[in-house]
Structure 1
């Protein structure tokens, strides 16, 4: 398939706000794609390269001297091979080799193809095919239920691989995906509840447990072999030796556990989230000893040869209690007084509680109502779009953040407000350095950045406003923390922001 055909589909998707039209355009393109090029096509149309990060940054790509081709001649497979060669380049002279391959690739591309490649390689492709839209497009192209595609993706961890299976063998091929020890499963997500009373009313038969301010982890053990993954499925086994040792000592031969890990103070209270996250890049014994991690597990997806994904939570919780001992997250099944569980969580320094339906199965990758999170403070995870230079004490620092919510139909983030509150001097210095590395353009007052950073914002709801494209504006927003464990596809949607409008809660 010509690469230009894929670029044209991307432009068609970007030109419409209709989710249905996006799905139809993508499904048509997938239906006409050669099976050998399907994985690359799906990756490109969702703004990814099949190789992940290829080792070529913004400066390298924008500095190429490549005159556009007059006519399209590149195939998808040729682009995929070139990007693979760039990703594989290493050692002495690798910078020049990457530049040479990219120059040849861009020289063979038309102007429209060059723009697409630039956005793709630098992570700025925002043509509208987010994962949820692509899942529905794959289902339409393969004529299979979207739920089957979604479950296969949960187990495979790869949308291109899931699409290949769907197009090759339909439901039968998708159902061959099984939980496999050592291959991470996409995590199940929770939706916010307005109050604990609302949550327990919705789930009268429920597990109420602490919601900790830690880092999500998933651990796999098969005999003596242990793997530890983050919520984004990045493996961190080499950085968390104490977790590996602990899991290896559990009374089982194989297990898959979902949980949180925290760095604790000497009196057992949670350290700031950023300190926990810093350990994921630590490898020296000194760093490990200085900041030991304590895991708390809340779900069991496999135990001693038995997969539990499709078992109700009450059965998964029974299996969990058999194996994790003191590392069980605090909580109660159908507590007589749920408010006491919430009070205990807050007193211990945690965020709030989770209310989970005991009859629910593990449904990964979607925010459903089976798990509800209750926090006294209302927060949203939003994407940083830009920052304005500060004044007075903040002169010389990038301060006032422009914040965007995720478009559930796959468009670019939708701006919903600004804030300069809640920032320490240390954070201001970090923002100023980091944002300029992510810069796309600037004017006298504002530096616009690639929408890659997710920040957790505390707010007092939203209000109707014509100032921003989403028709709402944040009220009294302040920065709580950045979320390096989340990517923009996990940010809250514009619908979640609108749900905080006064009078809607």
Structure 2
């Protein structure tokens, strides 16, 4: 298959907001792929590289050579080129990678260049996320979408599932089973603005658990061997010896647990998320005393030979209680009373945690999907910030100013401190309005980014604050999204960086 066909499909998918139209376009492309290309095609159309990271940054994508006149690049050729680029290391590696990228782009047409640059830059936002892609695989292979979703859950990756479905249909999908030692996609939670609304959705007695600001951990046990995986299915076992030691003491032969690991202060309050993330992201230096992590388990999907994925939540909870002592289990209550749940929520937040998860007692473990069985409730933080710059959008947002650079006011200098970026929460109406407004405020443009006079105030919701060396203030907002613009406020009335720093300290 030519890369030109994938670029055309990507453009078509990005140009429509209809889910069915996206699925149809993706399915047609998958049907045209050769058997050995399916996994790579799925990755590219999902905006990912099979190689994950290959060391190519924006600098290597700035000077694009003249495009080729006719398409000739094939999927295997591009995949091989990405593998070669990712393997470059040592002295002169930056220049060598830049040369290889230029050679690849020089063989691409203008349309193919645009697609490959967005793919390498992680900017291929076209609405082909896992749910849509799973539906497209099902349509291309002529199999039920539920079978595809379950296979993806068990295999943890769309590519191998697409290969099996297109080659062998239902029989190929049925070959995917739960294996202790191979991580499965984690179950995800929907959101509700309040405990009362969450209970209104479930309409029944439910479990209410602390929601920790830690790192999701899926823990596999087999005959004393313990493996720990993140929600993105990366193996971090070697980085968490204290977690491995605690789980190894459990009276189980083989099991798959779902839980969270978190760094706690001596008084039991959580450290900022960044402390936990640092422990799970890299191995701790030998001369650095590591901050210990505590594991809290909240689910079990396999226990001593029994698969529990399809068991109701109440049964899985009972199995967890039998296998795991209370200190290793997430604190929880079971109630039908929203007021009792609200008290539990308030207590969790007062202890420094994110909020609560409210879980149906009947729902099976539907991994990889944000179903109605789990609902998270968190207090919402908001700030009035100033737009400092904005980036041009891609896909459906082509020609629109989309990704906002957000700044807090610094009274000491009279300037603004950048806290991060967001393109979340913007409706079509807001996109059109901010494009017109920000172009009026523009002072300079450097291709990707339009820098504006710091006058426009926007109300931003976010989940928390974390340390970040990426921005001048050393902090960044987590999961920032636009609520509304505040034309009634001037930039002098925006929130200060000191108020944000007080949130980051958590004390």
Contact 2:419 2:477 in 1 (8 A): no
Query: Deviations for 1:189-218, whole angstroms, at most 9, x for unmatched residues?
Result: 112234333433524232222222222211
Deviation at 1:243, TM superposition (A): 0.8
> In structure 2, what is the Cα distance between the partners aligned to 1:361 and 1:28?
33
Match of 1:470 in 2: none
Return 5+ residue gaps in structure 2 as ranges. 384-390, 392-401, 436-456, 488-493
> In structure 1, what is the Cα distance between the partners aligned to 2:82 and 2:116?
10
Query: Deviations for 1:375-419, whole angstroms, at most 9, x for unmatched residues?
Result: 344689xx992315666546675427553227999xx9x989835
> In structure 1, what is the Cα distance between the partners aligned to 2:375 and 2:503?
22
Q: How does 1:4-403 map to 2 (within 5 A)?
A: 4-63=4-63, 66-201=65-200, 202-284=202-284, 289-325=289-325, 326-334=327-335, 337-377=340-380, 385-387=403-405, 393=412, 398-399=417-418, 403=422
Deviation at 1:223, TM superposition (A): 2.1
Change in Cα spacing, 1:398 to 1:194, as seen in structure 2 (3 Å) is: closer
SS of 1:283's partner is: coil
Contact 2:424 2:480 in 1 (8 A): no
Query: Deviations for 1:233-284, whole angstroms, at most 9, x for unmatched residues?
Result: 2222222111111122211122111111221111112222222212113533
> In structure 2, what is the Cα distance between the partners aligned to 1:353 and 1:422?
16
TM-score of the superposed pair, with normalisation by structure 2: 0.78
SS of 2:163's partner is: helix
Deviation at 1:287, TM superposition (A): 7.5
TM-score of the superposed pair, with normalisation by structure 1: 0.78
Query: Deviations for 1:115-148, whole angstroms, at most 9, x for unmatched residues?
Result: 2111111211223322222222111111122222
> In structure 1, what is the Cα distance between the partners aligned to 2:121 and 2:49?
10
Deviation at 1:480, TM superposition (A): 9.6
Deviation at 1:347, TM superposition (A): 4.0
Deviates more, 1:8-17 or 1:390-399: 390-399
SS of 1:372's partner is: strand
Contact 1:377 1:458 in 2 (8 A): no
Match of 2:453 in 1: none
Q: How does 1:484-495 map to 2 (within 5 A)?
A: none
Query: Deviations for 1:432-472, whole angstroms, at most 9, x for unmatched residues?
Result: 3899xxxxxxxxxxxxxxxxx9823499xx56x799xxxxx
> In structure 1, what is the Cα distance between the partners aligned to 2:23 and 2:161?
17
Deviation at 1:18, TM superposition (A): 2.2
Contact 2:204 2:336 in 1 (8 A): no
Contact 1:419 1:479 in 2 (8 A): no
Instruction: Please point out which of 458, 465, 468 is paired with 1:418.
Output: 458
SS of 1:432's partner is: coil
Deviates more, 1:303-312 or 1:369-378: 369-378
Contact 1:385 1:401 in 2 (8 A): no
Match of 2:397 in 1: none
Deviation at 1:298, TM superposition (A): 0.4
> In structure 1, what is the Cα distance between the partners aligned to 2:465 and 2:196?
39
Contact 1:399 1:428 in 2 (8 A): no
Change in Cα spacing, 1:121 to 1:259, as seen in structure 2 (3 Å) is: same
Contact 1:28 1:141 in 2 (8 A): yes
Deviates more, 1:107-116 or 1:294-303: 107-116
Contact 2:382 2:461 in 1 (8 A): no
> In structure 2, what is the Cα distance between the partners aligned to 1:22 and 1:136?
10
Change in Cα spacing, 1:288 to 1:432, as seen in structure 2 (3 Å) is: closer
Change in Cα spacing, 1:215 to 1:479, as seen in structure 2 (3 Å) is: farther
Query: Deviations for 1:356-385, whole angstroms, at most 9, x for unmatched residues?
Result: 1111100112212111223344689xx992
SS of 1:350's partner is: coil
Contact 2:214 2:261 in 1 (8 A): yes
Change in Cα spacing, 1:127 to 1:369, as seen in structure 2 (3 Å) is: closer
RMSD: 3.9
